[in-house]
Structure 1
Amino acid sequence: MPDRPIRFLIVDDIAENIMALEALLRRDGLVVDTARSATEALELMLQHDYALAFLDVQMPGTDGYELAELMRSTERTRGVPIIFVTAAEMDEARRFRGYEAGAVDYIFKPIDPVVLKSKAEVFFRIGRQAKDLQRQRDEMQDIALHRDRAMAQLKAHADNSPLAFVTLDRNLCVRSWSKGAERMFGRPAGDMLGMTATAAGWLDEQGAALLTGWLDSQQDGVPRFSAEISLDHADIGPICCEVYGSVLSEGLNRQSLSLQVQDITERKQSEEVRALLIGELNHRIKNTLANVQAIARQSLRQSGSLPEFETSFGGRLQALARAHSILSDATWASAPLDQLIDDQISSGTLDGDRLRRDGPPVELAPDTMLRLALTLHELGTNAAKYGALSVPGGIVHIAWRLEGQRLVLTWRETGGPAVTAPSRMGFGMTLIGAAGGGDAAAVSADWNPDGVVWTIRLTDGVTRLAGQAAAAEALVGQPVIRASTLEGARVLLVEDEPLVALDLRYELEDAGATVTGVARSVPEAMAAARNGPIDLALLDGNLKGEPVDEVAALFDSLSVPFCFVSGYGRENLPQGFDHAPLIEKPFRPDTLRTILTALLARGVPDAAE
């Protein structure tokens, strides 16, 4: 190493000779060791590395020649240069023996200082160069070791990384293909190396044009790029990938492209699902708000006082909120009917000691659960005010059974006051009727003097029936004269939420319009549109989960102005109907009237244009 000095060794049995040689050799960077015998010399040579050894020829015991022969026989000391120091005249025999023993030169006594220093200088420089070479060799070994370790780490990272590492040359020929690339694309390196990415089928023409553009860029430094590219998997076809590229220069007009590739197929699918879920969440929230709005308005319409409104509205709102809690616990998939009944008991609407229930375990879909929650609340409230639960000893029986794909639920009261049919249908009765999803035939009441019996038939939400969409057919006949204002306009409501439909009906009728019907499914809407005449239609964003594209197309073909009434945003509605306004749930009555009046005034473009 550079901080370690050069060492010479002087071996002589005479101290004065050693002192004289040492004085002549003294210089910076040189350490001179001395030995008085061959034994001392050999011990020193086992401890230190020497650039030169001066050996006195004439020594008692082991002489200089014998010591030289011992040095040449040992691996450690074999390479030490030897200069013999002698006062004797040299004949050819002695000279030959010295060189044969390993000497490189002779110095004769009396010693000429100039000759000694010049010869010593040669070996000093050789020794220093040897140490420099040794240092450089050690440094190169360290560099090579670090390089090998770094390459091994880089290869391990590349092979174990979830990313694919690929290197392409200027012609997009594959020069490296990591284990991650093999896993990601199902293509072994042997099939890819040396092939152009396009010829191998991994990269399409659009992707090749993009990567070529990266290579042709004139940015300073090391240009870096990123893009989403479709790359081919050997087994499943194109997959969506995020690609990060660096353009590396390899000399004049020579470039390579280092790529790091991430498979983002799952992320893209998650983004699509998230967008769908957000749209569905918005739809559910706005539908819920529209239901609350309808409950508030109708409770207010039919309440005699503010305290009566507060009691009726608060109870209905709490019933709706508790049903939402049940569905939230069930992640809005479905919930047991028994749990809904238990909730009515815990809230105080029903008396568990005076309730008898019987029926198989069933689960209800969210929409059905919410409607039935309001229905049971109204039935329990009415029973506590006027029916079996208003007197001691009264009993409520709730029984249900499955008839094929239909659930039939019976509410029967016994032991209460004598029952007479109500003189008018209040909003509470409307909420009970809403349990059937708006189908008037699904809910019936038997006003038996011994106790009322309600029968509710549920089809949706127990076993869902897929609606069959009918093909749109244009009406043939005389031109239809349509209204231009809401006063006297014939309006078709296409809405599967009974309370929202009821609220819309009241608002339209207050504005002077005539509601010709309420369609709650795609087939019903198609039939109602074809059976007209209709001046205007209000169309929900979907009907029981079924898209309404065919209904919207039929309205356009019949030149019926329509608008969407939905909790969905425009991006989740049928495409191609931007001329149809969107009224978002929950709606304001003044906004509803303004939009519908403007829609009637302008109509819709003729489908044939």
Structure 2
Amino acid sequence: MPAEPIRFLIVDDIEENLMALEALLRRDGLAIDRAKSADAALELMLRHDYALALLDVHMPGTDGYELAEIMRGTERTRSVPIIFVTASEVNEARRFRGYEAGAVDYIFKPIDPLILKSKAEVFFRIGQQARDLERQRDQMLEIARARDRAMAQLKAHADNSPLALVECDGALVIRRWSQGAERLFGRSAAQMVGLPLPQAGWLSAENIAVLSGWLASAPDPATPPRFSTEFTVTQGAGRALECEVYGSVLASAEGAQSLSLQILDITERRQAEEVRSLLIGELNHRIKNTLANVQAIARQSLRQAVDLRSFERSFMGRLQALSRAHSILSDATWASAPLDQLIDDQIRAGTLDGERLHRSGPRVDLSPDTMLRMALILHELGTNAGKYGALSVPEGEVHLSWALAPEGLTLRWEERGGPVVATPDRKGFGMTMIGSSATGDGDWFNTDWRPEGVIWTFGLSRGVTATRSRAMAQTGDCPAAAAGAGALAGRRVLVVEDEPLVALDISFELEDAGAEVVAVARTLSDALDTASRVRCDLALLDGNLNGEPVDRVAALLVSRGIPFCFVSGYGREHLPRDFQTVPLVEKPFNPDALRSVLCDIMVMPAAADLPPPGLPA
């Protein structure tokens, strides 16, 4: 940006004089303004700053002396240098009046060009210097403002940062203690600044020795050495904190060293890492235990089965019991869950008849391990009662009661009104599993084979607590009855499932029920393409496809008026939020429950009887 010109002001009531003076003074970098009267001159001086004013002494109205006095009486024009220009001889009185009015010199007419240019040159250079000094002053002010802004920003960052910033001199005396350090260590700057680190009380001798070693390294002013380590430091309240420490050693021009420390509290991160490691180990343990249980159930069910069909029924029933118990525990984030909820789940699954089950007992919670064991026990008891015991005849019933005592929970299963009972000649896998699940570590069970009905009594010494401030689970009388024969015959079904074996299993079950699987989609793009063009009567939709949400697929099915259900290992809270009323079949699925849900959704009101315009039929 070009520099502003230096300005001179010429005041004379005669135009020819103005032109002559301007011609003599004209030069590069100089702007000359002309005024024919004092009023015009004052108006110009309100708009511009002048390095020199040349005033004619004799002017009509306000003369040069009076104009000079006005200029000296005004703050804006008080410092403008004035040279009087006159054609008459000036006596001492008039000369004194001129200097008193603020003049610095006189020039007499006729004007000597050399004298005029010489005197004007002095004020031109003074004006340049004043302009340069003013520009430098403005630059320095802007630099100072930028510095102040940077310092304010740096202080704000330091004060609001989660890092504790500590600066020490070469003798490890604290010279700066940020607000982050105050928050982290619980000690104020007033307490800490000026203290040597050994007396500050938050670092151990070993920590201080490490910092001394950093200072002992040869600092390079061009690239100051940087260090990092981890310390266990002591908070003001005496609590130990795990911290990451980053250090920079700086050296001044005189050679004096300083140490800048940035300290980050990683205590919660360390604890989270320990919890994560523990949870991964626990998850590994639970998965392997679950797989081992499934393996044992499969092998023992196969050993006791008379044919494949009976094996399938017994194995799937036991697997479903485990799965539903896992779902209950997942809803409770693998903390304790209510016994009543487990019983309700057995009723919903059809293992127990809610109308013929009479239960009584206090509200109790079961630990995860106890919940899984009781799920298998109740499943076996309900299955046996439905096959051979009280629930195998219309008039039979089961009385389930429990009591909580200091030594543990006593649970009693009593069957009444069923066929005459006799002690069995041999133990099946169900009875063996009940025995193995109900014993160990102080637990026990007893079986009383009364003719009028068997009584099982279990004692659980661990994993049982009284329920605290939780409402009792509501009993749901919605057994999963098998669908009527042929209800799915001829139906065209779309299967959206990313697990090949699960998709194959679902397809076989549907085909066994007489349905036709028109397509299987395993990816989101494939599902969207297939769902938009195939003709089908209903669809089965996985909860997600290889980690991708299925909201768009569900919306497309709704837009085409195709009824569907979710088949997923996820709970309801992890499924698309806009489709919370869509039925859910949880994996691993029960074939009868799957067919029942499909029959139900075929008679539910659809979003549309026909696809909307623009979509193929």
Query: Shared fold (TM-score greater than 0.5)?
Result: yes
Whole-angstrom CA distance in 2 between matches of 1:291 and 1:11: 111
Which residue of the partner structure matches residue 336 of structure 1? 338
Structure 1: runs of 5 or more not aligned:
465-609
CA distances 1:542-573 after superposition (whole Å, capped 9, x unpaired): xxxxxxxxxxxxxxxxxxxxxxxxxxxxxxxx
Q: Which residue, out of 323, 329, 354, partners 1:321? A: 323
Does residue 447 (structure 1) correspond to residue 449 (structure 2)? The answer is yes
Which residue of the partner structure matches residue 148 of structure 1? 148
Counterpart amino acid of residue 122 in structure 2:
V
Change (3 A) 1:261 1:439: closer
Counterpart amino acid of residue 450 in structure 1:
E
**1:79 Cα deviation (Å)?**
0.5
CA distances 1:499-518 after superposition (whole Å, capped 9, x unpaired): xxxxxxxxxxxxxxxxxxxx
Whole-angstrom CA distance in 1 between matches of 2:267 and 2:403: 46
Partner SS state of residue 119, structure 1: helix
Change (3 A) 1:2 1:140: farther
The residue correspondences of 1:186-225 to structure 2 (distance < 5 A) are 186-215=186-215, 216-218=217-219, 221-225=223-227
Change (3 A) 1:355 1:217: farther
**1:44 Cα deviation (Å)?**
1.5
Q: Is the 8 A contact 1:359 1:401 kept in 2?
A: yes
Counterpart amino acid of residue 68 in structure 2:
A
Counterpart amino acid of residue 15 in structure 2:
A
Partner SS state of residue 352, structure 1: coil
Change (3 A) 1:403 1:193: closer
CA distances 1:158-198 after superposition (whole Å, capped 9, x unpaired): 22322211111222211111111111111111221122222
Whole-angstrom CA distance in 1 between matches of 2:378 and 2:451: 21
Change (3 A) 1:222 1:37: same
Which residue of the partner structure matches residue 507 of structure 2? none
Whole-angstrom CA distance in 2 between matches of 1:356 and 1:90: 133
Whole-angstrom CA distance in 1 between matches of 2:180 and 2:331: 41
Whole-angstrom CA distance in 1 between matches of 2:443 and 2:211: 66
**1:283 Cα deviation (Å)?**
1.7
**1:202 Cα deviation (Å)?**
2.6
Q: Is the 8 A contact 1:368 1:435 kept in 2?
A: no
**1:62 Cα deviation (Å)?**
2.2
Whole-angstrom CA distance in 1 between matches of 2:404 and 2:232: 51
Whole-angstrom CA distance in 1 between matches of 2:366 and 2:42: 101
**1:61 Cα deviation (Å)?**
2.5
Whole-angstrom CA distance in 2 between matches of 1:439 and 1:156: 60
**1:248 Cα deviation (Å)?**
2.7
**1:85 Cα deviation (Å)?**
1.1
What TM-score do you get using the length of structure 1 for normalisation? Answer: 0.73
Partner SS state of residue 230, structure 1: strand
Counterpart amino acid of residue 352 in structure 1:
G
Q: Percent identity of the aligned residues?
A: 69
**1:320 Cα deviation (Å)?**
1.1
**1:116 Cα deviation (Å)?**
0.8
Report how many aligned residue pairs link the two structures. Answer: 464
Which residue of the partner structure matches residue 130 of structure 2? 130
Partner SS state of residue 302, structure 2: helix
**1:439 Cα deviation (Å)?**
6.8
Which residue of the partner structure matches residue 434 of structure 1? 436
Q: Is the 8 A contact 1:53 1:82 kept in 2?
A: yes
Q: Is the 8 A contact 2:53 2:81 kept in 1?
A: yes
The residue correspondences of 1:590-605 to structure 2 (distance < 5 A) are none
Per mean C-alpha deviation after superposition, the further-off stretch among 307-316 and 25-34 is 307-316
Q: Is the 8 A contact 1:24 1:113 kept in 2?
A: yes
Q: Is the 8 A contact 1:334 1:365 kept in 2?
A: yes
**1:344 Cα deviation (Å)?**
1.0
Which residue of the partner structure matches residue 161 of structure 1? 161
Which residue of the partner structure matches residue 300 of structure 1? 302
**1:376 Cα deviation (Å)?**
1.0
Counterpart amino acid of residue 92 in structure 2:
E
Which residue of the partner structure matches residue 423 of structure 1? 425
Change (3 A) 1:46 1:433: same
Q: Is the 8 A contact 1:371 1:437 kept in 2?
A: no
Which residue of the partner structure matches residue 611 of structure 2? none
Change (3 A) 1:217 1:329: farther
Which residue of the partner structure matches residue 174 of structure 2? 174
Which residue of the partner structure matches residue 259 of structure 2? 257
**1:2 Cα deviation (Å)?**
5.5
Q: Is the 8 A contact 2:219 2:251 kept in 1?
A: no
Whole-angstrom CA distance in 2 between matches of 1:218 and 1:191: 30
Per mean C-alpha deviation after superposition, the further-off stretch among 431-440 and 450-459 is 431-440
Counterpart amino acid of residue 454 in structure 2:
V
Q: Which residue, out of 288, 291, 309, partners 2:290? A: 288
CA distances 1:389-410 after superposition (whole Å, capped 9, x unpaired): 2222111111112233321111
Partner SS state of residue 412, structure 2: strand
**1:5 Cα deviation (Å)?**
1.3
Change (3 A) 1:171 1:237: farther
Does residue 58 (structure 1) correspond to residue 61 (structure 2)? The answer is no
Which residue of the partner structure matches residue 404 of structure 2? 402
Which residue of the partner structure matches residue 506 of structure 2? none
Whole-angstrom CA distance in 1 between matches of 2:193 and 2:339: 63
Which residue of the partner structure matches residue 230 of structure 1? 232
**1:117 Cα deviation (Å)?**
0.8
Runs (4+) off by over 6 Å:
none
Change (3 A) 1:439 1:175: closer
The residue correspondences of 1:62-101 to structure 2 (distance < 5 A) are 62-101=62-101
Counterpart amino acid of residue 431 in structure 1:
M
Whole-angstrom CA distance in 2 between matches of 1:321 and 1:174: 61
Whole-angstrom CA distance in 2 between matches of 1:222 and 1:212: 16
Whole-angstrom CA distance in 1 between matches of 2:121 and 2:433: 115
